Amino acid sequence: MKLTLGFSPCPNDTFIFDALIHQKIDTEGLTFEVCYDDVETLNQKAMKGELDITKLSFHAFAYVANQYALLDAGSALGFGVGPLLISKKHFDGDKDPQFQTSNSPLRVGIPGKYTTANFLLGIAYPHLQNKQEMVFSEIESALLNEDIDLGLIIHENRFTYQDKGLTKIIDLGDYWEKLTGCAIPLGGIVVNRNLDREVQLKVNRLVRKSVEYAFAHPRSAIDFIREHAQAMDEAVMYKHIELYVNKFSVNLGEEGRKAIDTLFNMARERNIIPAIENDLYV
């Protein structure tokens, strides 16, 4: 049985899925047709129900939870892994009136409307509404060219912005952790509810085995990771993996589910997401 599978070319995703798609583990009769896209493209594909299995932002998951169920394996949650709001010029977000005034003129580059990063930005700075959606890897250049005033960065850009002379305004992951005491839920792996229950459970089991294989053989996926990371330095690739792949990627557990439920409850209280009829999890 062949299933469509979408994930990003970022090192954390290629690290997680290498063993699965290259059959380094027993895939129990399943094969996978893979598409590689940035997270917001994957979010949009999930909105259209295009894929059997996909990585997406937890913010986006709220809009498709009636069509997709969340796996216990493969998620990106953690402490100290949140998105950063950065700039070329110096701003004090807590004191600068431009951050606190309705209809702020500040132009913000975001990696997608339905990213968890944008959701967290809305909680921290609700007045920053002049947003421009762009591919996450283009945000630093847009700041340097002064096409935007602020940039919301995710993924490996956490490790590169300072080298380009850019400045951090706030770590939104740290903000979330202080606000809730929970790990920050960034992205998860979901499976289409139209698939047989047995297949959904099998996918959940196989993704966990793929993550466990990756941890047991950390150099096994290096060529695959490097192929998709392209110009990224190997040290940065492994920093990226270390930051985003952890115990929650093996199994959400009670702590991971609490973090996700907290995020969704907060979003519902602020009328940011629609009502969800189904249980979130496989």
Report the catalytic residues. 155
Instruction: Please say whether the beta carbons of 126 and 103 come within 8 A.
Output: no
Return phi, psi of residue 31, to 5°: -125, 165
Chain centroid to CA 182: 16
- Annotated ligand binding at 57? The verdict is yes
Instruction: Please say whether the beta carbons of 266 and 123 come within 8 A.
Output: yes
Task: List, in sequence order, every residue forming a beta bridge with 3; answer none if it has no partner.
Answer: 32
- Annotated ligand binding at 56? The verdict is yes
Can you tell me the distance from the alpha carbon of 49 to that of 195, in angstroms, rounded to the nearest whole number? 12
Give me the DSSP letters along 142-207: HHHTTS-SEEEE-GGGGGTTGGGT-EEEEEHHHHHHHHHSSPEEEEEEEEETTS-HHHHHHHHHHH
Can you tell me the distance from the alpha carbon of 161 to that of 143, in angstroms, rounded to the nearest whole number? 10
- Annotated ligand binding at 247? The verdict is no
Give the containing element (helix H, strand E) for 247.
helix 247-250
Residue carrying structure tokens 């290259």: 22
Cβ count within 10 A of residue 150: 27
- Annotated ligand binding at 258? The verdict is no
Can you tell me the distance from the alpha carbon of 60 to that of 62, in angstroms, rounded to the nearest whole number? 5
| Binding-site residue set for substrate | 55-57, 116-117
Residue numbering of the annotated binding site: 55-57, 116-117
